[in-house]
């Protein structure tokens, strides 16, 4: 990656990370046997779900607290193709933000551990009436306090 997707301040807590292993399935490839570009959003989602589950802020946590977190922005940089039946990993990296948003970076590595794809998503939080939230709900506030204090690794 030429420049970072998200800029960190030295007082920010370290990013949270998770890695997911996958294999390219037949249905994900085009006639040339390479992954169709539209499937990368799904790969990002696999890692984003694992990240949420690992740190206790998954989709069900949002749902149970009447909060939604839609994607506001998604960006993908393709470096090299993934091919049919190839094993690969997706690393999700959750970057701290003082704003009430979810900044996730993704690094997909091929079977040779070379970077195949990078990208990011930005999510915002909406209340049960679909209004943009500017103050974190209690469960997000508690999560952010744990992260900031270094309890989460």
Q: Find all residues with CB under 8 Å of 134, minimum gap 6, and list them.
A: 100
CB-based burial label for 116 (10 Å; 0-12, 13-18, 19+): buried
3-class DSSP state for residue 71? strand
Confidence of residue 38 (pLDDT cuts 50, 70, 90): very high
Number of residues that make up the chain? 153
Whether this prediction's pTM lies above 0.75 is answered by: yes
Q: Domain extents for the chain?
A: 16-149
pLDDT digits (tens, 9 = 90+) for 120-143: 999 999 999 999 999 999 999 999
pLDDT surpassing 60 at residue 30: yes
Q: What CA dihedral angle connects 15, 148, 138 and 61, to 10 degrees?
A: 30
Arch. (CATH architecture) of 16-149: Roll (3.10)
pLDDT digits (tens, 9 = 90+) for 49-69: 999 999 999 999 999 999 999
């Amino acid at each position: 990656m030429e420049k970072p997707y998200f800029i960190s301040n030295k007082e920010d807590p370290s990013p949270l990370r998770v890695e997911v292993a996958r294999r390219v399935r037949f249905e994900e490839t085009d006639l040339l046997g390479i992954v169709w570009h539209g499937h990368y959003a799904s790969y990002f989602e696999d890692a984003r779900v694992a990240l949420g589950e690992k740190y206790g802020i998954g989709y069900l946590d949002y749902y149970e607290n009447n909060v939604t977190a839609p994607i506001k922005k998604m960006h993908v940089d393709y470096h090299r193709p993934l091919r049919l039946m190839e094993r690969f990993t997706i690393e999700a990296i959750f970057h701290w933000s003082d704003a009430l948003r979810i900044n996730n970076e993704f690094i997909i590595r091929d079977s040779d551990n070379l970077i195949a794809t990078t990208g990011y998503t930005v999510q915002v939080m909406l209340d049960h009436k679909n209004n943009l939230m500017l103050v974190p709900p209690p469960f997000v506030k508690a999560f952010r306090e744990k992260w900031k204090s270094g309890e989460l690794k």
